[in-house]
């Protein structure tokens, strides 16, 4: 799609609903599209919408091997609810072994460089494998999550992976997501009820305090709030 075509599509989808966007994805890309889920609240809401449109909608996730127990439990609950075979992608174990041998299990607490190395091995590299061959991937990103996410379009060209990245919830608030999950009795991670609006690996995520940014619990020991990304959602400025 050309830049002009993307601009036209985005203008139309901005005026619609997330379901309109998912319908467009399904009609345009079919089985060559998949949702990449972290099994957070946004992702659970999205997959419910996607599955309602297409009961064979593909669902992928990255298992870093260090996720919270509650997230692993939600994998099973989601599979039972929707009858979906979740496509799991794992880190390369030889790379993990070498990293741990050289820098330790909890290297990420000792500097951003170490943390990004760990994220790269456990998330970024497996994501590249997962997206290989896909024409589009669907995410739960929202503009009000802060940082560079405030500039995302609903449909973007993902230069890093050579496909389209689709953010159906871009213009939704956290409250809208929560209301949708509650209204449809969608299974969700119980950590959300314990002060965790954003979920990641167990040792890298804590609950947030009242008034804190929703991503303050991610890599909380790092001082730069703009560095709180793992690398899988590197944002390219929107073309308008």
Question: Which residues are designated catalytic?
Answer: 230
Q: What are residue 45's DSSP bridge partners?
A: none
- As a whole number of angstroms, the distance between CA 196 and CA 206 comes to 7
- As a whole number of angstroms, the distance between CA 229 and CA 60 comes to 20
Query: What 8-state DSSP symbol labels residue 123?
Result: I
Q: How many other β-carbons are positioned within 10 Å of the β-carbon of residue 193?
A: 9
3-class DSSP state of 31: helix
Integer CA distances (angstroms), 61 to 29, 34, 111, 225, in order = 19, 10, 26, 25
Q: Are 203 and 106 in contact (CB under 8 A)?
A: yes
Q: Are 89 and 63 in contact (CB under 8 A)?
A: yes
Instruction: Give 202's contacts (C-beta < 8 A, 6+ positions apart).
Output: 66, 67, 68, 69
3-class DSSP state of 12: helix
Q: Are 132 and 236 in contact (CB under 8 A)?
A: no
Q: Are 205 and 217 in contact (CB under 8 A)?
A: yes
């Amino acid at each position: 799609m050309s830049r002009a075509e993307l601009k036209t599509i985005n203008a139309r989808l901005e005026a619609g609903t997330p379901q309109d966007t998912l319908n467009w994805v399904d009609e345009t890309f079919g089985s060559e599209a998949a949702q990449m889920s972290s099994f957070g609240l946004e992702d659970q809401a999205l997959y419910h919408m996607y599955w309602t449109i297409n009961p064979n909608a593909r669902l992928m996730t990255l298992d870093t091997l260090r996720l919270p127990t509650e997230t692993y439990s939600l994998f099973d609950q989601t599979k039972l609810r929707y009858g979906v075979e979740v496509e799991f992608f794992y880190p390369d174990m030889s790379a993990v072994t070498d990293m741990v041998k050289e820098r330790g299990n909890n290297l990420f607490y000792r500097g951003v460089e170490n943390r990004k190395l760990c994220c790269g091995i456990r998330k970024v590299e497996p994501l590249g494998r997962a997206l290989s061959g896909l024409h589009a991937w669907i995410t739960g990103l929202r503009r009000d999550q802060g940082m560079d996410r405030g500039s995302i379009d609903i449909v973007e060209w993902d230069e890093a992976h050579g496909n389209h990245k689709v953010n159906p919830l871009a213009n939704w608030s956290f409250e809208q997501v929560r209301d949708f999950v509650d209204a449809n009795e969608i299974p969700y991670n119980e950590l959300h009820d314990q002060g965790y609006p954003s979920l990641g690996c167990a040792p890298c995520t804590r609950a947030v305090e009242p008034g804190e940014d929703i991503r303050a619990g991610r890599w909380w020991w790092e001082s730069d709030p703009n560095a709180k990304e793992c690398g899988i959602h590197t944002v390219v400025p929107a073309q308008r």
